[in-house]
Amino acid sequence: MTEPTEDDATGGGGRTHDERGTDEITIEESDDESDRGAVDDESDRQESTDEGAGAGDANGDDGQHVDEEATEQESSDETTGDYRAADETTTDLIDRDAEYVERAIELAEESVEMGNTPFGALIVVDDEVIGEGHNETRTNDDLAAHPEMTLARWAGRELDADERARCTMYASTEPCPMCATAIHYAGLDRVVYGVAGETLNALTGDVVTIPCEEVIERAGGDTTV
The one catalytic residue in 3, 148, 174, 198 is 148
Does residue 109 have an active-site annotation?
no
CB 176 within 8 A of CB 208: yes
SS (H, E, C) 201-213: HHHHCCCCCCCHH
Q: What angle do CA 112, 141, 159 make, to 5 degrees?
A: 80
Residues 207, 173: Cα–Cα separation, whole Å: 11
Look at the alpha carbons of 102, 103, 108, 112 in this order and tell me if their dihedral is positive or negative.
Answer: positive
Sequence-distant contacts of 134-142: CB under 8 A, at least 24 apart: 134/107, 134/108, 134/110, 135/108, 135/111, 136/111, 139/114, 139/115
What residues are labeled active site? 148
